[in-house]
Structure 1
C-alpha cells in the first residue's frame, strides 16, 4: 500500500521488538541517560508509581545536564499526578504538557472523547520508541495477575528523524507555532541520519484532520493482499464492517487468519464486545485465540512474511475513529519473523482457541444480535464524527523555573 499524504516509506532502519515493560523501560531509560540534546515523550498514561518515579528521575537528570525535555501526557489517562511530581520536573526545566485535561461535573469527567492515545519517545532525533506501553507499573509482569502483555519497538535510522519531526510539530500545532518548530529543529542539530539497518518503515498516525482512517486502511490493505498468514493481536477488538469483511474474505480464500484477543480482560465489557463477533468470524474460518495468562494490551499484527505493524491503535471505535494514535508499519522479513515467533509462542502456550462448537447461545437471539452488531459496525465511522472534537491549545501556567524552563503545566 502506498503511503498517505504526509507519510512516506523510509529505508535503512534497524527495528527491534520489545516485549513488556521488563524490556521496554530499561531501553527507554538508558536512551534518556545517554541523551545529549533532547528528549520528547508522548504518553497516554503516566502513573506516580515505581515506573513513573523512575521516569521522573531520569528526566530530571537529563534536564540538569542541559538536555531539552518535553513531556506530553493525556488529561484523561493521567489525571492524578501530584503537584510535587509536576513541580519536580518543571523546577529543572522539563516542559510538561497535558492534552485536554477537561472539566469535571460532580466528580465526573465529561470530556472523554478524542484522547491523545499515542506512546512515543524520541531521543536526540536518533532513537525512537513506538508502541502500546504507557509509563505504569501494570506494564510489568511482576505487577501480578493484572500485569499487561504488551509490545513496542525501538527504531534507529532515518525513520527516527521522521518521528522526531512529528512530535515537535504536535507541540507547535498545540500553540507554539511554526517559528518555534523551525528553531527547535535547528537546535536539534540534525543533518542526514545515516542508515542503521535494512528495514523499510512507515510512520502512520490517526488524527481528526487529514489522517482520520490511515491506520485502518493499512490494516485492510495488508489483509487484502495476504496470501499465506495473518496474525492480529489486539487488546480491544470491535472494528468496523470493512475490516471485518476483509478478514472474512481472507479466511475464505484460504489464508490462515489468527486473532489473539483478551481472555482475561482488564475491563469486562472488552471480552463481551469482541465475543459478539465470534460467530461471524469463526464461520468464515477465522481462528480466534483468547490469551488467558493476564490482560493483553498489545496492538500488533503481521501479514505473510514481510509486513508487520506495532503501535498504540486498538481495533475499536475509540482508536479507529476518535483518538490520536501512532503506529509503525515495517517491511522486513527479519522483523516479521521475530514478531511471528512471539505471537506463535503465545498461541501455542498461553491461549485457548475458541471453536464454533463452544458457542451455544440461542440461535434466534444470535440472529437479532448479529443484525444489530452488523449495522453498528457498518455505520460507526459516520456517527463517531458527530462527537465533540478537541481543538489543541497551549495555556502557560505558573512561573519560569530557574533553568530557563518552567514550573508550569501547559495545556495542549
Structure 2
C-alpha cells in the first residue's frame, strides 16, 4: 500500500442508492429539492437551461420562495452561457449564485484557467446528498435520441453526509470570499447529525489544489495494488500517467483480470485519439479494452474484487487528476460493489465491443501515427500547463 495512515476516512452506517443515467438521477434530485426545508447546496460543472435545467431551476425557485437558502455554485467555463443569460433572473428569484473562476477571456492562456470545478454535488438540509458524474443538463444526445449518455450518480444518506456537507460549505465560503460576495457568506447552521441509516462503509474523497492533490489518484492506486482477482474501470476520458499505467500492467501480470470500458463515440478528438494511442501497450500486457458505442460514455466508476467500488466525477486523465476539483465516493461493501459491477457489465453487453490487439496492429500506419500525434499534443498541453513533470506525467 502507498499509505499507512488511516486514509481515506471511512465511516460505517451509510446508505448508497445507485442512480443510472439522468432518467434516475434528475427525478430523484428534483424530489429532494421539493422536500427541502432549510438549505440546498448545488455544485456542477455544466448547467444548461434546457428541458432538464428548466425543471431544476423551477424547483430551486419554489424552494427559495418558501424560505429555503438556495446556494448554486457553477463553473465559470462549463456553465459560462448559463451564467451570462440567467444570472440576473436567478438572483432576483432569491437564489444565491456563485461562479467558480469566471471565464473573463476565452483566449487566456494562463495556467490557472485549467483549474475548474468539475464536481457534481448536491446536499439538501444536511440529510441527503448526491455525488456523481452527471451534469445538470439533458443527457440525451441530439443525434442519438434513444440512448442517453451513460453515467452514474449516488444518493447518499448517513454519516458520510458530514464530510460532504463540510466540503461544499468550505468551497462555497472560498468562492464567496474570492468573489467579494460577503452577502453570500454562510450563517452558522448546525452540521448534519449523520445518523446510521444503512450498513455500507464508505468514504468521501476529493481532489483540490492544496491538501488533497493526489487523494483520488492514490485511492485508485492503493486499490489496484491490492487487487487479486478483477479490476473493472469505466471511464469517459482515460489518459493515465505512467504511475497509473504501471499499476494496471503490474496487476494484469500477477493474474488479475483487468477490464477497461472506454468511450467509443468521438466527442473531443484530441483526447479520444490520444487515449487510443495507449491501446496496443495496454492490450499487449493482457488488459481487456472495450469501447462503448451505443451512446456517449460519461461514467467515472470502478469496481475492484467486488469489495471496493467508486462513483464520482473524476476521470483518469490529467484534467481530473492534476487540475480540477473533483469528488468521489468510495465504498467498501460487497453488495454495492456487485451491484455496480452488474450494471456496468450490463451496459457493456448492450452497447460495447471488445478490441483486439491483432486487429489494432493491422490498422494503417497513418491511422496509428495520427493517434500518436494526438498523444503528443495532449502531452505537450499538460507540459505547458506545468503539471506534466515527474513520474506521474503522461
Could you say which TM-score interval applies, normalised by the shorter chain? 0.7 to 0.9
Residues 276 and 89 of structure 1, relative CA distance in 2, 3 Å threshold: same
- In the alignment of these two chains, the number of paired residues is 380
Q: Is the CA contact 1:235–1:262 (under 8 Å) kept in the aligned structure 2?
A: yes
Q: Is the CA contact 2:159–2:196 (under 8 Å) kept in the aligned structure 1?
A: yes
Q: Is the CA contact 2:21–2:148 (under 8 Å) kept in the aligned structure 1?
A: no
Query: How many angstroms does 1:126 deviate by?
Result: 1.1
Q: Is the CA contact 1:9–1:200 (under 8 Å) kept in the aligned structure 2?
A: yes
Q: Is the CA contact 1:20–1:140 (under 8 Å) kept in the aligned structure 2?
A: no
Q: What secondary structure is seen at the aligned counterpart in 1 of 2:12? A: strand
1:92 equivalent to 2:126? Answer: no
Higher mean C-alpha deviation, range 118-127 or range 76-85: 76-85
Q: What secondary structure is seen at the aligned counterpart in 2 of 1:81? A: helix
Q: Is the CA contact 2:161–2:192 (under 8 Å) kept in the aligned structure 1?
A: no
Partner of 1:174: 175
Aligned pairs (5 A) from 1:1-20: 8-20=9-21
Partner of 2:238: 237
Residues 51 and 57 of structure 1, relative CA distance in 2, 3 Å threshold: same
Query: How many angstroms does 1:249 deviate by?
Result: 0.9
Query: How many angstroms does 1:82 deviate by?
Result: 6.2
Partner of 1:42: 43
Query: How many angstroms does 1:176 deviate by?
Result: 4.1
- The C-alpha deviation readout for 1:345-403, integer Å capped at 9, x for no partner, is 122221110011111147899799879969x87x998765459xxxxxxxxxxxxxxxx
CA–CA distance in structure 2, aligned partners of residues 367 and 141 of structure 1: 31
Partner of 1:393: none
Residues 220 and 7 of structure 1, relative CA distance in 2, 3 Å threshold: closer
Partner of 1:404: none
Partner of 1:326: 327
Residues 74 and 275 of structure 1, relative CA distance in 2, 3 Å threshold: same
CA–CA distance in structure 2, aligned partners of residues 117 and 302 of structure 1: 22
Q: Is the CA contact 2:8–2:219 (under 8 Å) kept in the aligned structure 1?
A: no
- The answer for unaligned runs of 5 or more in structure 2 is 389-394
Partner of 1:300: 301
State the superposition RMSD in angstroms: 3.1
- The C-alpha deviation readout for 1:94-120, integer Å capped at 9, x for no partner, is 110011112226xx4656411111100
- The C-alpha deviation readout for 1:11-63, integer Å capped at 9, x for no partner, is 11000110100000000010111111010011000011111111110001011
CA–CA distance in structure 2, aligned partners of residues 156 and 305 of structure 1: 22
Residues 4 and 55 of structure 1, relative CA distance in 2, 3 Å threshold: farther
TM-score normalized by the length of structure 2: 0.87
Task: Please identify runs of 4+ aligned residues in structure 1 that moved more than 3 A.
Answer: 1-7, 108-112, 139-143, 183-186, 361-374, 379-387
CA–CA distance in structure 2, aligned partners of residues 350 and 323 of structure 1: 29
Query: How many angstroms does 1:185 deviate by?
Result: 6.7
Q: Is the CA contact 2:15–2:199 (under 8 Å) kept in the aligned structure 1?
A: yes
Q: Is the CA contact 1:17–1:154 (under 8 Å) kept in the aligned structure 2?
A: yes
- The answer for unaligned runs of 5 or more in structure 1 is 388-412
Q: Is the CA contact 1:240–1:381 (under 8 Å) kept in the aligned structure 2?
A: no
Aligned pairs (5 A) from 1:182-193: 184=186, 186-187=188-189, 189-190=190-191, 192-193=193-194
CA–CA distance in structure 1, aligned partners of residues 381 and 214 of structure 2: 13
CA–CA distance in structure 2, aligned partners of residues 196 and 142 of structure 1: 42
TM-score normalized by the length of structure 1: 0.84
- The C-alpha deviation readout for 1:63-83, integer Å capped at 9, x for no partner, is 111111100000100111266
Partner of 1:249: 250
Partner of 1:354: 355
CA–CA distance in structure 2, aligned partners of residues 84 and 361 of structure 1: 46
Higher mean C-alpha deviation, range 219-228 or range 83-92: 83-92
Aligned pairs (5 A) from 1:114-129: 114-129=115-130
Higher-RCO chain (CA-CA 8 Å, sequence separation at least 6):
1
Query: How many angstroms does 1:246 deviate by?
Result: 0.7
Partner of 2:392: none
Partner of 1:312: 313
Q: Is the CA contact 1:72–1:99 (under 8 Å) kept in the aligned structure 2?
A: yes
Q: What secondary structure is seen at the aligned counterpart in 2 of 1:137? A: coil
Q: Is the CA contact 2:260–2:288 (under 8 Å) kept in the aligned structure 1?
A: yes
Aligned pairs (5 A) from 1:12-411: 12-81=13-82, 85-104=86-105, 108=107, 110=109, 112-138=113-139, 144=145, 147-176=148-177, 184=186, 186-187=188-189, 189-190=190-191, 192-359=193-360, 360-361=362-363, 384-385=385-386
Q: Is the CA contact 2:274–2:375 (under 8 Å) kept in the aligned structure 1?
A: no
